[in-house]
Amino acid sequence: MTTTNTPPAPPVLHVDPFTPEVLLDPYPFHQSLREAGPLVWLQSHRIYATGRHVEAQAVLSQWTRFTNAAGAGMADIRKPGNWRPPSVILESDPPQHTQVRGALQKILSPLVVRQWREKFSVRAEAMADELVQRGEFDGMRDASEAFVLSVFPPAVGIEIPTENARAIGDMNFNAIGPNNSLTQASAERAQPYMKWYEDSMQRSAMLPGGFGDLIYQAEDDGALPKGVAANLTRTFLRGGMDTTISGIGAALHALARNPAQWDMLREQPQLAAKAFDEGIRYDAPVQVMFRTTCEGIELGGIQLAPDTKIAAFIGAANRDPRQWENPERFDLRRKSAGHLAFGAGPHVCIGQMIARLEAECLIGALARRCRTLALAGDPVFRPINTLRMIDRLPLRVQPA
C-alpha cells in the first residue's frame, strides 16, 4: 500500500467581507474567521486570510517572508494591469525602506513634535470649550474630523477642505481592497479633486516650515533619493489623516457607551492617550492589511507558494481571545500593548506618536470639561473596504 503526504488544505469561508453589510458590522465575520483556523481561504476573493493575532503579527512584521513591494493592497502591483507607482515608504522593503524611514524619523524630531503639541493643545482646548457650550454635537464632523483637519494638514504644510479630504480618503482606503462597487463609486466621487490633490503635494504648494517642506529639504540635502518628496508627503498625509479621525471617533464612541470608563478618564485625564490606544484596539481604524509571500513558506500549518497574497484582518486580530482576556470589552485598565492597529515590524506606523498626540489633546480636553459623555442617537458608519469609519456620532455632554 502506498501513502502520500498531502499538504493540509485551509478551511474555506464563502462570505465576502467587503460587502457594505459586513463592513457596517464586521465582528461576526471576524469571529468566524478566527474560529475557522489560523489561515483561511476566502473563496469570494480567492485569497488567504488570517484573523488571529499570532499569524497576523507574523505577516505584518516578518518582511523577509512577507513583502510590501508587491503592494499594500489586495492587488499585486507588479502584475500587468495592476501596476501603479508604489508608495516609496509603505510599499518597499529594506534596505530602500530603511533609508527613507530613517530620514523621516530624523525630520520628526522631538523639537518638531513638541512644537506640534503646543499648537494641537491650543486648538483642542478651544474646540472643547465650544463643544461643551453646545451640549450636543457630532463626535465626528464637529470633533474628531474637525480637529484633525484643523491641525494635521497644516502641520504637514497643506490646506485641505473637508470635502476634498473625505472624498480622497474614501477613495484611497477603498482602493486598497477589491475593485468592487465601493471602490469604483469612491473613485468617481474623488475625480473632481484629483488635480488639486496632485498639485497640493508639489513643493510650490507647501506651507513654509511644515513637515512637507522639511521632506523637500531632506531631498535637497541628499538624505532622501531624488524625486520622492511628493510621494512621501502624500503617503504621510494619507496615512495620518483618515486613520486618526477614525481612531479618535472610535475612542469617543466607546467612551460614550461605557459611562464607568468615562468616569475613570474624567478622574484621571492623563489616561486620554490610553483611551485612544484601547479604542483603536477595540475598533481598529485600518481593518485589514495585505502582504505577499517572498518564497514558498508555511503559515498556520498551510504551505503557501511564492507571490501569494495574504489578508491580515487587524480588526479580528485585535479582538483575538487567544491574545486578550475579554477582548470584546473596552477597558482603560487593559494592557493594550501588542495591538496591531499601527501595524507591526519595519512598517509600523511612523507617525503614530502624532496620532496619539492629537487624540490625547482632544480627548483630554473633553475629559477635563465634561461630567458626562453619552450617545444622543445611534451612530452611522460609512462602509469603506479597509477603513472602519463612523460617519455620524451624535453625542451629548454635561459640563463638569
What pLDDT is recorded for position 4?
Answer: 54
Phi/psi at 17 (nearest 5 deg)?
-75, -5
Which residues touch 333 (CB under 8 Å, ≥6 apart)?
none
Q: For 4-35, how does the pLDDT look when each residue is reduced to its tens digit (9 = 90+)?
A: 567 788 999 999 999 999 999 999 999 999 99
CB 276, CB 247: distance < 8 Å: yes
What pLDDT is recorded for position 115?
Answer: 87
- Give residue 395's pLDDT band: very low, low, confident or very high (50, 70, 90): very high
CATH topology of domain 12-399: Cytochrome p450 (1.10.630)
What pLDDT is recorded for position 1?
Answer: 46
The answer on pLDDT for 222 being more than 60 is yes
- Cα separation, 247 vs 240, whole angstroms: 11
Mean pLDDT across the stretch 131-147? Answer: 98
Q: For 77-121, how does the pLDDT look when each residue is reduced to its tens digit (9 = 90+)?
A: 888 877 677 888 888 888 888 988 998 888 888 888 888 999 999
Phi/psi at 6 (nearest 5 deg)?
-85, 125
Closest CA to 305 of 86, 10, 56, 52: 10
Name which of 45-49, 145-149, 343-347 the model is least confident about: 343-347
Which residue's entry shows cell 495620518?
Answer: 240
Mean pLDDT across the stretch 214-236? Answer: 92
Name which of 207-211, 364-368, 393-397 the model is least confident about: 207-211
- Give residue 379's pLDDT band: very low, low, confident or very high (50, 70, 90): very high
The answer on pLDDT for 177 being more than 60 is yes
Closest CA to 90 of 201, 242, 239, 210: 239
List 286's β-bridge partners, or say none. Answer: 387
Residue 4 CA to its chain's centroid (Å): 45
What pLDDT is recorded for position 51?
Answer: 99
Mean pLDDT across the stretch 372-386? Answer: 98
